[in-house]
Structure 1
Amino acid sequence: MVACAEGIGVPRGSGMFRPMLRAVAFLSQEKITAKVNYMKNTFRWSDAEVGIAISKAPTLLTRDKESLQHRSEFLISVVGLAPAYIAYRPAMLMYSLEGRIRPRYYVVKFLKQNGLLDHDRDFYNTVMVSEKVFMERFICPHKKAAAHLAEDYATACRGEVPARFTFT
């Protein structure tokens, strides 16, 4: 396990070494290789980028292929993020697509389309902030201009897409 973790690019002294050991503990070398190749194809990552992503978020190795596929499709095709951007910020792949990533994307897109955001926000920071901070930064300041926003966000977090969040 130690050799495998170091072979992936996580040195013993790294803070990610223990999480990497847990991630590879029950995976054979063949499964790790297959998962690495799958991520390279799915996220369109180079060898270096997949190494960076896994060294920053070892639990990517334990994610099922379907969830990785859905996140890749959404983040690259819908949000428009570059594969390298995702590789350097793989922690966002740990969050629920339906319960966090997609609803927050809808809120930011709604605010932009309605002229309620004064500047572009970094998508990673939008996903990574706590629920409380997200509400304080993106929902509460717009209570008057978009009274329905909190309700629509809550609906989106339940996996439904409110009509106001349907974009053409």
Structure 2
Amino acid sequence: MFNFMAKMLPHLRYSVNRYSPIQRFYFLHFAPLSSSSKAVKSNSENAKNGDSFTVSYLVNKCRFTPERALSASNYMKIEEAGKPDAVLLFLKNQGFTKSQISNIVKRFPPVLVCDPQKTLLPKIEFFKSSGFTLEQLTAILNGSPSTFKRSLENQVVPTFNFLNNFIGSTEKIVNVARRCTHIFGVDVEASIGPNIQLLKDVGVPESKIIKLLIHQPRAFVIDKEKFRDIVEEVQGMGFNPLRYKFLLAVHAFRAMSKETWEKKMEAYKKCGFSEAEIFKAFEKNPWCIMVSTGKILAMIDLLFNKMGFERSVFLNRPVIISLSLEKRVIPRCLVYQDLLAKGLINEGFRLANMLEASEKKFLEKYIACHEKEAPHLLKLYTEKLALLH
């Protein structure tokens, strides 16, 4: 069973790299700079190329850093202030806040050279007529600003209709757009549609497909043949298509490159786990392999080396690795140590139960019930949370 990766790893090459800061700047996707030297060329060099006004406008009017302005000037030209000023005023009049406008411009600078009436207004009017509130409208365009440059007829409308028919909620469409900023540039009929149908064909309930689409829309944006290969591999591993873990496994292989998978395997092996044990944990909960290598090492060091967890805890409850280190594990371990020191729990107490408990249950079961014996616990816990945030 564990030889599946010999066949699986080539398929992982299809996936895109994990989200990185540079991906936030859509305009860089068309022709990224080939070297850092281009990103730091001087204003005088830009002046020779006629870009000095663009750089000056972005720095002075839009608060770009000089480096970011220089990069943007390679893909757009501002010849005079009239057009970008009109765009900024238009967005303000449409109800976008100052911070939203700043975010849109920084993530998609070409919006500044769009025609407000011919290019921007039709999209805004379409979303309004489709039932989006002003708050939802600004959220979707703030989260996916490249939508302003998409063809309304050929891209925006078909994508909206597809999502609306399948998930049936403007709020959910907003969530999809926030998580996949280029969603309105995707040919949904050619990619997302067939991939959804494939999942239905192998027995995945539609409700679970909708859940994945809302929370991980990028998982569906892939060539249908490559997506089929991944689904078949997940089937071959024995995942049950009726359970959400099936889709999490698909998402994991879709999101990771071969190199990323190997690094995470090595991280677990450094901590003493065998390949067979890692696969066993992955089959129980795919999230354990989707966290960063840094988090894997930090979490295992804390829980196993410092808190005394047994290896069986990871094998039986691998979801623990995916919990937030700062927001949950460290503060709760501090409470655990305090309770143990005061004799309010014994060493046989299962820390894993405390870590997996909901926030409400944790406060009730492990802090409020000990208010008389340890009135400082709540303060200790909240102060640690605040410090780590």
| Superposition deviation, residue 120 in structure 1 | 3.2
Over 3 Å counting, the alpha-carbon distance change for 1:10 and 1:23 in structure 2 is farther
Superposed counterparts of 1:1-168, under 5 Å: 1-6=230-235, 9-13=237-241, 15=243, 16-42=245-271, 44-117=272-345, 120-159=348-387
Q: For 1:108 and 1:12, how far apart are their aligned partners in 2?
A: 36
Q: Secondary structure at the match of 2:261?
A: helix
Q: Which residue identity does 2:323 align to in structure 1?
A: Y
Kindly tell me the number of residue pairs found equivalent between the two proteins: 158
Q: For 1:159 and 1:71, how far apart are their aligned partners in 2?
A: 18
**CA-to-partner distance for each residue in 1:70-126, whole Å, 9 max, x for gaps?**
101101111111223212211111111121111111112111111222673212111
Q: Normalized against structure 1, the TM-score is what?
A: 0.82
Q: For 1:95 and 1:128, how far apart are their aligned partners in 2?
A: 8
Contact preservation (8 Å) 1:45, 1:84: no
RMSD after superposition: 2.1
Over 3 Å counting, the alpha-carbon distance change for 1:119 and 1:41 in structure 2 is closer
Contact preservation (8 Å) 2:239, 2:283: no
Contact preservation (8 Å) 1:19, 1:59: yes
Contact preservation (8 Å) 1:35, 1:61: yes
Q: Which residue identity does 1:125 align to in structure 2?
A: N
Contact preservation (8 Å) 1:98, 1:158: no
Segments of 5+ residues of structure 1 without an aligned counterpart are 161-168
Over 3 Å counting, the alpha-carbon distance change for 1:29 and 1:110 in structure 2 is same
Q: Which residue identity does 2:338 align to in structure 1?
A: F
Range moving further from structure 2, 69-78 or 54-63: 54-63
Percent identity, please: 26
Segments of 5+ residues of structure 2 without an aligned counterpart are 1-229
Q: For 2:248 and 2:321, how far apart are their aligned partners in 1?
A: 16
Contact preservation (8 Å) 1:99, 1:158: no
Contact preservation (8 Å) 2:241, 2:247: no
**CA-to-partner distance for each residue in 1:21-62, whole Å, 9 max, x for gaps?**
0111132344323322322223x2122210121112213332
Contact preservation (8 Å) 1:71, 1:97: yes
Q: For 2:356 and 2:377, how far apart are their aligned partners in 1?
A: 20
Q: Which residue identity does 2:350 align to in structure 1?
A: D
Q: For 1:159 and 1:95, how far apart are their aligned partners in 2?
A: 18
| Superposition deviation, residue 158 in structure 1 | 2.5
Q: Which residue identity does 2:359 align to in structure 1?
A: E
Contact preservation (8 Å) 2:282, 2:288: yes
**CA-to-partner distance for each residue in 1:126-160, whole Å, 9 max, x for gaps?**
11111111111111122122221101111122245
Q: Which residue identity does 1:35 align to in structure 2?
A: K
Over 3 Å counting, the alpha-carbon distance change for 1:21 and 1:107 in structure 2 is same
* Higher radius of gyration, 1 or 2: 2
Q: Secondary structure at the match of 1:25?
A: helix
Q: Which residue identity does 1:39 align to in structure 2?
A: Y
Q: Normalized against structure 2, the TM-score is what?
A: 0.38
Q: Which residue identity does 1:69 align to in structure 2?
A: L
Q: Which residue identity does 2:322 align to in structure 1?
A: M
